[in-house]
Structure 1
Amino acid sequence: MKLPFDNLMSFHSVVTHGSFSNGARKLGKSQSTVSGAVRSLENELGYELIDRSEPGVKLTSRGNKVYQLATPIISRYIELKYIAESLGKTERGKVRVGIDPLVFNHDVKHVLFDFSEKFPETELTILTKPSHILGQYLHHHKIDIAIGNPYHKTDFGFNVDELFLVNCHWVAHKDLLRTPLSINTRVLLLDGCEDTIDLSNIAQHNIWILDDSRTVLDMCMAQKGIAFLPQHLLDQPTCTDVLSPIVGETFLFGKQIYASLMWPQHADFNQQHQWIHDKLRKR
């Protein structure tokens, strides 16, 4: 009996993604090709894997067993494929780094400056996204490493090495603090902060979540609300002149975030990754 791996991949993709069309799209193949591959696998095995008398993708008892056995094999194959591709990218000098804006401080920027001098031929892609998005990107191999908060809510696993602490504070324009805060006070949050603060404490407020730290800062300075921001954004001279920490509000207390390096499980550092890691640890 032959068991062509491409046919097994097609079957697994159909079941994982819930339909023949979704499975085919994920594999970059036509629906008819994937459907034929599944039928060929069934013919080779001598029994049906999918109960076609039922709507959707419903497995037979044998199909369910084959799917369970195939899952770890295909997962390891995808992992091997990713690592093999990464080795090729390393040789060509390509590094993809994700950075959470909450931890994207001056030290991180200077490491990138130094990186351009140390590896002038390397192509560097930087993505600034919240840590929960970076975790997804790592899992799906869209980035090689990430610098962010590893303790966000996630179902994905990855390697973690803590680097440095980032202090975050609740702040407001000094003029806004001349009167007590009320439930009408708008709250300005950077996307991803919900993994750091307890939103239930501020649920009664009008909450705005934005994906750009500069916009959050500008709106706070324009007295459009109070904001939860990292210290490195507040160190700018224009900020220190007009913004002040919020004190006296028991539910608005600061937080410390452990900025950490994250990378996929079962993946090794290359030379560039290790260099970024070492430079950030020294700083």
Structure 2
Amino acid sequence: MKLTFDNLIAFHTVANEGSFSACARKLGKSQSTISGAIKNLELELGYLLLDRSGARIKMTSKGKKIYSLATPILYKYQELNALAESLAHSEIAKIKVGIDSIVFNSKIKSVLIEFSEEFPEVEITVLTKPSHILGDYINRQVIDIAIGNPYHKTTHHFNIDELFSVNCLWVANKELLCSADFPVYKSRLLLLDGYKDIVDLSNISNHNIWVLDDLSTITDLCVAGKGIALLPQHIIESKSLETILSKIPSDTELFGKQIYASMLWPSHTEFGKYHQWIHNKLRMAHTG
């Protein structure tokens, strides 16, 4: 048995309105169309739904059961129609966020997870790039906001609001560093793309430098003793590398660096609803 939905709607509306004529007016159809729809439904079911013998139409006992079962289904159908119509007249909210890998810590990830739960209807795109690329993306309106180092070398202008600081440390495999013949001055430098905005290597330019765009690869190479790396402290802590990697002494001219993770957004624009939410959550996450 396969019930016709339009016939079920006609029956339910007649039961609510109390007559075929009132149902026809409500649904914008002729009275004969409504009467025929209900007769067809009764033929599909094999029993009468309405008692037509009296002055006023009444539901039969089986009709009352069908009415009761159909009511929540039809209400959901009405909700679906209303939602589908509203979506046809509105665009799905979308935001694009750029995040510099060097500041992308666990608290930022937690805020993004919370955002997905708070605003499930919003599409969010996250791009992980160095800050100098994110600054260019903001200028070209590729992204809406960025979270990164605001003091990178750039000719672009944008709004800046500092959020939290990130400590970057020069580290090496602890076993190699403890070795008396470990050549710190001649070791390969493992650096994240965009490092020129963080450190000045003019005094140690004779080093062999590898530039990568993935902190995980840099970390793995450093752990394997293939070079010394400038890593944000949250990477070392999150991967429990404190027992494997050790900070390189500052007398090697490899000084650590503290940078400020900031929210960046286009000049002469205000925060949107979702941007403000992310901003406030990040502030709370790093001050709480």
* RMSD between aligned residues: 1.4
Is the Cα–Cα contact under 8 Å of residues 188 and 228 in structure 2 kept in the other structure? yes
Indicate the residue corresponding to 1:94 in structure 2. 94
Q: How does 1:5-24 map to 2 (within 5 A)?
A: none
Give the letter for the 2:217 counterpart: T
- Do structure 1's residue 217 and structure 2's residue 219 form an aligned pair? yes
Give the letter for the 1:123 counterpart: E
Give per-residue Cα distances to partners, 1:107-162, cap 9 Å, x unaligned: 11110011011111100000000000000000000000000000000000000000
Indicate the residue corresponding to 2:155 in structure 1. 155
Indicate the residue corresponding to 1:145 in structure 2. 145
Indicate the residue corresponding to 1:279 in structure 2. 281
| d(CA) in 2 for partners of 1:182, 1:144 | 42
- Do structure 1's residue 105 and structure 2's residue 129 form an aligned pair? no
Give per-residue Cα distances to partners, 1:200-259, cap 9 Å, x unaligned: 133110000000010000000010000000011000354122111111434111111100
| d(CA) in 2 for partners of 1:248, 1:135 | 31
| d(CA) in 1 for partners of 2:240, 2:161 | 34
Is the Cα–Cα contact under 8 Å of residues 169 and 247 in structure 2 kept in the other structure? yes
Indicate the residue corresponding to 1:175 in structure 2. 175
Identity score, percent: 58
Indicate the residue corresponding to 2:129 in structure 1. 129
| d(CA) in 2 for partners of 1:184, 1:250 | 11
Identify if the C-alpha distance between structure 1 residues 189 and 148 changes in structure 2 by more than 3 Å, giving closer, same or farther: same
Indicate the residue corresponding to 1:242 in structure 2. 244
Equivalent pairs, count: 194
SS for the counterpart of 2:260 is strand
Identify if the C-alpha distance between structure 1 residues 237 and 157 changes in structure 2 by more than 3 Å, giving closer, same or farther: closer
SS for the counterpart of 2:277 is helix
Give per-residue Cα distances to partners, 1:149-196, cap 9 Å, x unaligned: 000000000000000000110000012202343443100001111101
| d(CA) in 2 for partners of 1:194, 1:252 | 14
Indicate the residue corresponding to 1:62 in structure 2. none
| d(CA) in 1 for partners of 2:137, 2:153 | 14
| d(CA) in 2 for partners of 1:119, 1:192 | 32
| d(CA) in 1 for partners of 2:250, 2:183 | 10
| d(CA) in 2 for partners of 1:181, 1:255 | 22
Give per-residue Cα distances to partners, 1:19-66, cap 9 Å, x unaligned: xxxxxxxxxxxxxxxxxxxxxxxxxxxxxxxxxxxxxxxxxxxxxxxx
SS for the counterpart of 2:251 is coil
Give per-residue Cα distances to partners, 1:71-108, cap 9 Å, x unaligned: xxxxxxxxxxxxxxxxxxx9521010000001000111
Kindly name which structure, 1 or 2, has the bigger radius of gyration based on alpha carbons: 2
TM-score, scaled to structure 2 = 0.65
Unaligned runs of 5+ in 2: 1-89
| d(CA) in 1 for partners of 2:207, 2:174 | 20
Is the Cα–Cα contact under 8 Å of residues 171 and 247 in structure 2 kept in the other structure? yes
Q: Give, in angstroms, the shift of residue 267 of structure 1.
A: 1.6
| d(CA) in 1 for partners of 2:209, 2:183 | 14
| d(CA) in 1 for partners of 2:240, 2:232 | 15
Unaligned runs of 5+ in 1: 1-89
Is the Cα–Cα contact under 8 Å of residues 185 and 252 in structure 2 kept in the other structure? no
Give the letter for the 2:137 counterpart: Y
Indicate the residue corresponding to 1:71 in structure 2. none
Give the letter for the 1:140 counterpart: R
| d(CA) in 2 for partners of 1:125, 1:193 | 25
Which of structure 1's runs of 4+ aligned residues deviate more than 4 A?
Answer: none
SS for the counterpart of 2:243 is helix
